[in-house]
Amino acid sequence: MPYLFTSESVSEGHPDKVADQISDNLVDHFLAFDPSSKVACETLVTTGQVVLAGEVKSKTYLDVQQLARDVIKRIGYTKSEYMFEANSCGVLSAIHEQSPDINQGVERTKAEDQGAGDQGMMFGYATNETENYMPLALDLSHRILQELAALRKAGKKMKYLRPDSKSQVTIEYDDNHKPIRIDSIVVSTQHDDFDVDKKMLAQIKEDVISIVIPKVKKGLKKNIQKLFTKDITYHVNPTGKFVIGGPHGDTGLTGRKIIVDTYGGKGAHGGGAFSGKDPSKVDRSAAYATRHIAKNLVAAGVADEILVQVSYAIGVAKPTNIYVNTNGSAKVKMTDAQIAKKVAQVFDMRPYAIEKRLKLRKPIYSDTAAYGHMGRTPEKKKLTFVDGSGKSKTMNVETFTWEKLDYVSKVKKAFKL
């Protein structure tokens, strides 16, 4: 019997994502000037205020207040009427040094013996229903908000847009778990107060359907475009006008959008947030590594969809388990347990090995903090960072390395495909 599945996304201007981006901007700057930095930084944003807290061990000094303002400005909170503005908001830093009790469990004489930064379980997931091996509902939700942000920043159409927005997509699937059609699309976007409520809301809904959705469709393959039928139910700003938004409308915190950050409710999540953490925290690095495994296995033809779990004990390098679930979609004559055993042979899941394999000691995290950590396109970039003394440093980095299909040949060889 057909069923419905829903995923949501939030924009870079959503208060929780503002917090994530500030935290990851700090991580990047610490790593740029001291790659061995240990960082666990949380951010809170509310009306006219930013609070930074957490633990850091680093040889570098940063102007964290200015780095927070830089992010807020880049997102688009640059007007006083937003009640949260880059130059005028207060920024309080309560960052202190990392606990030596934690540090002793992570650092080792031999780098490869580096222990996990915490206990816990992490999940990676991949499905072949999209080109980027992501669940379709989440992929579409991200795309809607990326187009909305691009329109806002271009300033030529929908000039009333403000930074805060959310989207949600519901898709109908058949009994074989294949998408049949898009059932509904929800878009809530912050906006200027530019007309009487009824006319204003009608204009926003019309623009979303006639401007944003066609832009989204244009970037999709034909088989996905066909899912956009005339029968889609659109809910655009369903509560009414949305003028008050961002950190003034809702307090934001680092790590509150972990399902948006990963797979939109498909697969599973271990509960640990990513943003604000250096890669010694397996909440982040092992989640990226399991996504890398799942994506390469699906791309190699091991299964149509794969969920990978790994778990750790704090201070211990070797994982306590590796688990695989193909949901009955395996294309190889092996049990899921046998697939998991093979995965452990192909992929070294010790924290140090993950950091090296995916080049995670580079300042690559700001790009991950909005529109998802998974399903993104790897890029080689030249980035410039500034420390607390005003000294700048330009670096070549490679982002989203865990999205590379660089292990497909190794997987095929291991599974004799």
Domain ranges of the chain: 3-9+135-244, 120-128+282-414
Is pLDDT of 108 > 70? no
Q: Which class is 3-9+135-244 in CATH?
A: alpha beta
Q: Is the pLDDT of residue 31 over 70?
A: yes
Which of 217, 80, 234, 213 lies closest to 158, judged by CA? 213
- 139 annotated as ligand-binding: no
Strand-by-strand arrangement of the 49-57 sheet:
90-97, 49-57, 38-46, 252-253
Q: Rounded to whole angstroms, what are the CA distances from 346 to 175, 242, 293, 323, 341? A: 33, 50, 9, 14, 9
Whether the per-residue pLDDT at 123 is higher than 80: the answer is yes
Instruction: Quickly tell me which residue has 């299964």 as its tokens.
Output: 303
Q: Are 189 and 165 within 8 A, CB to CB?
A: yes
How many CB atoms are closer than 10 A to CB 408? Answer: 17
The pLDDT-based confidence of 109 (bands split at 50, 70, 90) is low
CATH class of the region 120-128+282-414:
alpha beta
198 annotated ligand binder: no
Integer Cα distance of 148 and 141 in angstroms: 11
Tell me: is residue 165 an annotated ligand-binding position: yes
pLDDT of residue 1: 87
Common-topology check for domains 3-9+135-244 and 120-128+282-414:
yes
Looking at residue 159, what is its pLDDT? 97
Q: Is 281 annotated as a binding residue?
A: yes
Indicate the range of 111-120, 178-187, 201-210, 261-270 predicted with least confidence.
111-120
277 has binding-site annotation: yes
Q: Is 257 known to sit in a ligand binding site?
A: yes
Give the C-alpha distances (Å, rounded to integers) separating 147 from 11, 152, 367: 10, 9, 16
- 74 Cβ contact partners less than 8 Å away, ≥ 6 residues apart: none
Answer yes or no: is pLDDT of 74 > 60: yes
- Tell how strand 3-10 and strand 161-173 pair up: antiparallel
Q: Is 166 annotated as a binding residue?
A: yes
pTM score, two decimals? 0.96
Nearest to 367 by CA among 25, 54, 137: 25
Higher-scoring residue by pLDDT: 267, 191: 191
Q: Is 93 annotated as a binding residue?
A: no
Looking at the chain, how many residues does it have?
A: 417
What pLDDT is attached to residue 104?
A: 55
Longest dimension (CA), the chain: 67
Which pLDDT score, from 0 to 100, does residue 354 have? 97
Question: Per-residue pLDDT for 101 more than 60?
Answer: no
Residues 149, 155: Cα–Cα separation, whole Å: 10
Residues 334-351: what's their mean pLDDT?
97
The answer to whether the annotation marks 131 as part of a ligand binding site is: no
Confidence label for 115 from pLDDT (cuts 50, 70 and 90): confident
How much is the average pLDDT of 343-359? Answer: 97
What percentage of the chain carries pLDDT values higher than 90? 93
pLDDT of residue 113: 64
Is there a binding annotation on residue 250?
A: yes
Residue 100 has pLDDT above 90, yes or no: no
Asked whether residue 274 is marked as a ligand-binding residue, the answer is no
Check whether 34 has a pLDDT greater than 60.
yes
Ligand-binding site membership of 256 (annotated):
yes
Helix extents (H) in 112-257: 136-154, 197-207, 213-218, 222-225, 246-249
On average, the pLDDT of the chain sits at 95
Q: Is 242 annotated as a binding residue?
A: yes
SS3 percent helix, strand, coil of the chain, rounded to 5, is: 35, 25, 40
Residue 28, annotated as binding a ligand:
no
Q: Residue 112: is its pLDDT beyond 80?
A: no
Is 97 annotated among the ligand-binding residues?
no
- Does 16 carry a binding-site annotation? yes
